Every structure is written in C-alpha cells, then in structure tokens.
Structure 1
Amino acid sequence: MITSQFISRVTLRRDIVESFERYPFSLPAVRSLDMLELHPKVTFLVGENGSGKSTLMEAIAVAAGYNAEGGSRNFGFGTRRSHSVLDEYLRLARGFRRPRDGYFLRAESFFNVATEIERLDAEPGPGAPVMPAYGGLSLHEQSHGESFLALLTQRFRGNGLYLLDEPEAALSPQRQLAVLSRIHDLVRADSQFLIATHSPILMAYPDAWIYRLGADGVQRIAYEDTEHFRVTRDFLADPQRMLRVLLAHDE
C-alpha cells in the first residue's frame, strides 16, 4: 500500500539474524519484534531503562540515514563507535514523499553534535555557516535545556522526519509543555515524529501511538495504561501517603 508518511513501518529481518542469543537481538523487545507500525504523526517508545528503546531508536535513525550520535543527514562525524548492528537488520517502509527536513536528537550525545557544529563553522569552506540555523548562539554557551529548545524552535523547520531520544532529559516540566506545543506546530507543518521518552507530559500528545518495550516484548498501549502515567497520577494524588510508604523503615 502506497502511503504519504515518511516511514510507515519498521520490520526486523528475522530471517538473516544469526542468533537471538546475542546482543542486541537478545533484548526481549528485539527478540519478539516482527513489524512496528508507525503513526503518521507521532509515535512514542516507552519502557524502563535497559528495555531497548534507545537501542531501537538509534537503529531506526541509522537505517534512515542519520548519524548514530545525532544531527541531520549531513552529519558524518563519530567520536566513538557505540551503536549496535541492529540497523543492518531493519527494513524501513517509506512513503512516496521525501522529508525536506530531518534530525536525530540523541540526548546523551548532543554535546558532541554541538562541538561538531563549532568545528564545521571554524573551518573555511564553500558552505554556509551552520550556527545561524540554531539561532546564532553557540549551543555550548547555553544550558542543556536552552540548547534543546533552540534545536526545536530554530533548527526544525517542518515537513520533516524527527527522531528524538529522551528529549525531556534537560527540560523542566514547563519547558516540556513548550516542547509539546512545538511538536504540534511541526506536526501541522506535515512532520512525523518518533520519540523515545520517560515523560508522561510528552506522551500525552493526542492520538499518538505508544509502544511499551519490556520483558514481554513490544506492545501498543493506551496513555492511561503506561506506568509513567499511573505512577505520576498516584503520587500527585496523595504525595504524603506515597512518601510514608517509600521512606518507611523497619524499627
């Protein structure tokens, strides 16, 4: 079926996997993976630390042509090879439209992207400087959260494919709300997002698809069924009761 979305599904080529006993194929989320359908607007990957969501996100980004450490498709630097071989075993179903913009934000290596931008602008060359696309101020001269917001508000232009790995890492709840609003602006500008997150604020985006990665594999779930929503709701409903339970000690 021909689709207009940039990526409609991700398929694991299970027939060429030599062994599901070695990493990353031994991860339950990967071991059970067959095909992952993506929402034309926003898809979330959620799960505990170590569940494999960042590994899967990174593999999809690399398979889509992005640098493993982040950036646009024009970034080709590498400070240290750390990504798995999973991208070599994925097949991406692409639509007839091609994105005019795109970016892979990997929170843990965004510092390296900022350094690469400064390096590119410091070297003489025929290309235009990179920094103005991010607001003109060095990302290293801003806080982590400010640099993330500069990326979304200045660099992301719409009609793009954006893959974000834990974008909330340096953001306050108020700034996460600002990011949620910006995501909506970009969706209305014909963009598609795939986001790995722990944030119950971000994953509340209306009509998004949420996939939980865990010991039982990959399952699509409702927002209200995510652990992130339930734990946050229960804590805020009665924080003192939760604290009494969490901080209780046997005499």
Structure 2
Amino acid sequence: MALIRKIIKTSSNEHYPFSVPVIENLKELDLEQDIIIFSGENGSGKSTLLEIIALKLNLVRISLDINYSDPEFSDLKAAINAFTVEFSLKPNGFFFRSEDFISYLRYLNKTKVEAEKELKRIETEYREKSAYSKILASMPHKRTLNELDNLYQRNLEEQSHGESYLDFFKSRLRPKNLYLLDEAEVPLSFQNQLTLMVLIKNAVAEGCQFIISTHSPVLMAFPGACIYDFNQEVIKEINYEDIEAVNQLRNFLNDRDRYFKYLFD
C-alpha cells in the first residue's frame, strides 16, 4: 500500500541540496509503489532525497549523533519548504541509516548500564529508608530495563551486527507505516539480506511502504519493486537488468580471472 504518492519540487536556489544535480533537475517523482529502490553511486543524491522526505514528513530518526550545526544539514532543513510530499493521510514511520546503527547500539548499552548503576546506588543509599521510598526511587530505572528487555527479543549488543539489525528492524515494524532505509545492506550478510527482504514483504502485506537506498544487487532485485537510477543528472526508472552495478557484478562473477589480470598484471 503506497502511503505517499509523489514528491514535488516547487522552487530552487544555488545552495545544498539543490547543488546536487538530480535534486537541481527534479520536478516531481512518482512514489506510488509499495517498494521503491534508489540506486546509484555515493554522492549521487540518493541519501539526500531520503533526508528530504524524512524531514518533510517529520519521520522518526534512528540517529543519536546528528550534527545540527553542520552547514549541509542546516541548508537541508531550510530547503524542505521547496518540496511537497503528496499523501492521502500523513504516514507514521522512521528513517534509518545503517551508519547510525552502531551508535544506537552503544546508546542502548549505555542506557542499560546507567540504569543498573542507579539501582545499585539506590540499594545502598536507601538502606535506612522506607521500602516505599526505595520502590519509588527504583521505579523509573526498572521501567527502563523492562522496556529494553521487552522491545528486543535478544540483547542487541551480544549479537552480530547483522542479527542485531534484523532484531531491531523487526521490533520497529508496525502496520501501515512508511520506512526509509539508507544502505540497509551494510551490516548484513547475503543470507541476512534475504531475511530482511522477507520481513519487508510481510510488512508490505500489512500496508507498509518502503523506500530503500542501496548498492546491493540483492535488495535491488526485490520482486515488483520500482527502481530509480540516480547515476545521471536526472532520476530515471530503470529495469533491474540495466543497473550498472548489477551488470558489473555479473561480469565479474562470470569471468573474474579477466578482472584480476587487468588489475594485477
């Protein structure tokens, strides 16, 4: 179920993000598909457009280290009035960049350690106080630990990054939500990318929509996905078989010795 229909650019200037060619040349982009793939090289504008959509819709960000003083981020926030996102009902959802994931794991671990530390302090300092006072003081920290235990099936810090990512992702899926994923394949093995695709397919069946920026030929192959190529100065819909990265990988797998001869001889 497509929750958003299109993004339209209504004005422009010489500053970022309009300095990115595909953003400068964007008029409108059809987003009325359950699964949309953004394909292109680093710096092509894939992540920039995801950022614009996320800011415009005020989606939850799974990020704890956004540098709000960064000139590019300030320019991006200032530019969102130049864009309109069409939708039937403004969707809930989240914007998750893979590069944020490690910092998020560290945050969870820090939160857990601090809550446990506070409970030990209360145990010592409230020894001579009433049981009721001790319960009141302990309550917020116990609630924090319970929420972390209930939110994730397993301790994310004790798993591989791929397993942690999938557990985290699964815990955040809600029916009829919009999910923007930036380079979701980074922490994932081939097998875990397939698992992610199953989770996405099941979520789509519950009315979710996904826009995924990726370099992965595996994720790009999602059946029925609309694929947009960002490698030229204008965003264009492209068939999977015509994606440059897919063809390069196919050629390498078919004749890797030729590549190595060129590289090393």
Matched, 1:179 2:196: yes
Where 2:185 maps in the other structure, the secondary structure is: helix
Report the counterpart of residue 132 of structure 1 in structure 2: 150
Report the counterpart of residue 80 of structure 1 in structure 2: 67
Report the counterpart of residue 10 of structure 2 in structure 1: 13
Q: 1:58 to 1:243 in 2, by over 3 A?
A: same
**Alpha-carbon deviation of 1:131?**
5.0
**Alpha-carbon deviation of 1:117?**
4.6
Unpaired runs of 5+ in structure 2? 116-139
Provide the rounded CA distance (Å) in 2 between the counterparts of 1:230 and 1:55: 25
Write the letter of the residue equivalent to 1:80: N
Where 2:249 maps in the other structure, the secondary structure is: helix
Q: TM-score by structure 2 length?
A: 0.78
Provide the rounded CA distance (Å) in 2 between the counterparts of 1:155 and 1:117: 15
Write the letter of the residue equivalent to 2:57: A
Matched, 1:103 2:94: yes
Bigger share in helix: 2
Number of equivalences? 232
**Alpha-carbon deviation of 1:92?**
0.9
Write the letter of the residue equivalent to 1:157: R
Report the counterpart of residue 105 of structure 2 in structure 1: 114
**Alpha-carbon deviation of 1:186?**
1.1
Q: 1:104 to 1:211 in 2, by over 3 A?
A: same
Q: Which runs of 4+ in 1 moved over 6 A?
A: 125-128
Provide the rounded CA distance (Å) in 2 between the counterparts of 1:140 and 1:59: 31
* Structure possessing the higher radius of gyration over alpha carbons: 2
* Paired residues of 2:3 and 2:32 also in contact (CA < 8 A): no
Write the letter of the residue equivalent to 2:104: V
Where 1:236 maps in the other structure, the secondary structure is: helix
Residue 156 of structure 1 is aligned with which of 168, 173, 176? 173
Q: 1:245 to 1:60 in 2, by over 3 A?
A: same
Report the counterpart of residue 218 of structure 2 in structure 1: 201
**Alpha-carbon deviation of 1:120?**
6.4
